[in-house]
Amino acid sequence: MDHRTVRQFVAKFEENFGTREGLRCSRAPGRVNLIGEHTDYNGGFVMPMAIDREVRLFFRTADDGPVRVWSESYAEWDEFDLDGIERNESATGGWANYVRGVAAMLIDEGYALSPVEGIICGDVPIGAGLSSSAALEVATAGAFCAAAGIEPDPKELALLCQRAENRFVGVNCGIMDQFVSIHARREHALLLDCRSLEHELLPLDTSAFRIVVCNTMVHHELGSSAYNERRARCEEAARLLNERVGGVQQLRDVTPEILAQDGDALDGETLKRARHVVSENERTVQAAEALKAGEYARFGRLMDESHESLRDDYEVSCEELDLMVALARSQPGILGARMVGGGFGGCTVNLVERDHANRLSEAVSAAYRAETGIAPETYQFVAVAGAGVEKC
């Protein structure tokens, strides 16, 4: 968010609340996952990076009274007391429940909160799979913590924001989005072990490369039921392999060698689902090694393999995603392209040489629109630092 836009929201805050005294800004970035798809709920590895799109909450500690916040994206107010926080069933898109849920979870953890008044704004595209919801949660948590003068451990704060989404909002998300929004570093990706929450920062040379995300602008209804079915298949595969070899709590514990030797314990479809997860964990660890060695062509090949596995073994791609990937791979300067997210629509993520990024975005957009009649959106990102609170 540029300085001009920040000044506009500072002025808007003063217009709505009558003062800018004590005004601060809590910011939290969105994210894109470079590799490691459908591994999180199997206890595996993911590799997100924070993107240069963020949610900001301009706030100050209120003297008394309720929490009162305005959402610029939805042009709505929300107001609630910190005693006995309940869901807001009327807020457009449910945005207010992310704010309320974070406050409720902080109070459940025993923190004494102070009411805040503020304005929420941001430029993370909503509904594009770039984690605008986690950015809102983390920005909200930063504001409440700063207002109350508390400093939870960053890892615990990420878990708290996840609980807000799981328990209060009612979305069964994993930990990746909140974790990277807090822990990210400029010009780095983050390798996260979703079981232990151990993480490693990995260099990402954004002077030479760009991350281009292409939004197909479609999402097929089959996504939700297919996600549940695949998750159940993964759990069944882990159970059956544990009966055969022992020591398997999740597919994270299965090596390619175990799957090659004992995969006959699984039916054909379950074996395919397990094969994706096991191979994707291997690819993600190898991708981390590639980044540390500066081997970006190798990293791109692993992204390509990830898409093929998601398409053929996990079967969560679709015609539009496959088309978008194929169009990107036909362009000069492309190193790797794959679908990203749950599947059945949404976005692709592409690793592109910096000097070719603009041309790729334009060419893929034009060709996709000509083929499908749908006007896509494309975004170029660099890796930025995680959340923070600053004075205005």
264 part of the active site: no
**How far is it, in rounded angstroms, from Cα 128 to Cα 377?**
9
Q: Which of 177, 262, 267, 355 is labelled catalytic?
A: 177
Q: What are the residue numbers of the active site?
A: 177
